[in-house]
Amino acid sequence: MAELSYREAVAAGIAQEMARDETVYFIGEDIGAAGGVFKATVGLFERFGPERVRDTPISEQAIIGAAMGAAMTGLRPIAEIMFSDFLATCWDMVANQVAKTRYMTDGQVSLPLVIRTANGGGTRFGAQHSQSLENWGMAVPGLKVVAPSSPADAKGLLAAAIRDPDPVLFFEQKSLYGIKGEVPDGEHLDRLGTARVLRNGKHCTIVALAAMVPKAMQAAEQLAAMGIDATVVDVRSLVPLDTRTILGEIVKTGRLFTVEENPRLCGWGAEIASIAADECFDDLDGPIVRITTPHVPLPAADVLEDAAMPSVDRIVETVRKSMR
C-alpha cells in the first residue's frame, strides 16, 4: 500500500489506464504542462506526451465534442471539465448527444467516454464555482454517475470508469483533493455500481456521498459516545445505484438518514428515500430524514458557506433529535 493524496490517486488512475491501453487519451484545459488547475494531473504530460495529453482552448463544447467524436471512432477519451458548474455550457452535448447515441444507434455506436470534473463546495469559490451537481447527471438516462470519497476509490473507480463501454460522469469533490489515504500498489480496479459499508451500527443508517462521507464518519463516532450506534454507507456510485447494499443496511437498523451536499430540491437522497419507502417501508421504525444544503446558491463567505453545507455538528444534532 502507498499513501497518496486524493489528487495523486486521480493522476495515478489515469496513468494506470493510459499505460495499459494506448487508445486512452486525455483532453482538457491546463491539464498538460500546468498539471491541472487543482494539480490532479501532474506528471501525465511529461510521461505520455502532447499527443495523448492535450491542452485545449477555453471551450467546454470543444472538449466534449472532440471527446465524443474520438469515442465514436474507437478511442477511450478522458475529458476534463475544470469546474462541474461549467457543464452547463456543454450540457446539450452531454445530455442530448453523449447520453443518447448508443440508444439511438441501437448499440451500433458506443461511447466509452469519461468526463472528469471538480465538484462541490467547501473551498470558498462562490456560487458559480461551488455547485454539487451529481443530481444533474443522475436525471439523464444513458449517463453513469460516480463520486468517490477516498484516494483508493478515486483511483479504482476512475480505472473502472475508463474501461466502461458507456459515458461516465466522474465527480471529484474539490475539498477532498488534499486528503491522504492508502491506495493499493500496482493495478487497482474497482467496480461501478457498488456502495460500501464503512461502519457497522445497530441503531440507524447514515448514507453519504463524496465529501459528506468523512463528515458522516466523524458524526458517527460522536454519536457512539452518546449511545447511538450508526452504520455509515458510502454510496460511491449513483448510476448504477447499489440498492441491494443500501436497503440491506436500512433493514438492519430501521432508520435512514441521508447526508447530501447538493441542494435539497431533487437531491439524490430523495431518490434513495423514495426507494426505501417503496421497498422496505415495513422495516422502518421512524421517518426518513434528509440532511442537505438548502435550496440556495452557495455563498462565498466562509461563515455562510459552512452554515449552508451539512456539517458534522448538524449531522450529529439531527440524528440525535430524530432518534430521541
Q: Which residues are catalytic?
A: 129
Q: How many CB atoms lie within 10 A of CB 166?
A: 17
Q: Hey, what domains does the chain have and what are their CATH numbers?
A: 2-183 (3.40.50.970), 196-323 (3.40.50.920)
What cell was used for 37?
A: 488547475
pLDDT value of position 111: 96
Instruction: Count Cβ atoms within 10 A of the Cβ of residue 58 and give its class: 0-12 exposed, 13-18 middle, 19 or more buried.
Output: exposed
pLDDT value of position 152: 98
Query: Consecutive sets of 10 residues in the chain, 324 residues long: mean pLDDT of each?
Result: 96 98 98 96 97 97 98 98 98 98 96 98 96 97 98 98 98 98 96 98 98 98 98 98 98 98 96 97 97 96 97 98 94
pLDDT value of position 1: 87
Q: Is the dihedral of CA 60, 61, 65, 68 positive or negative?
A: positive
pLDDT value of position 17: 98
3-state helix, strand, coil split of the chain in percent (to 5) is 40, 20, 40
Q: Distance between CA atoms of 128 and 297, rounded to whole angstroms? A: 8
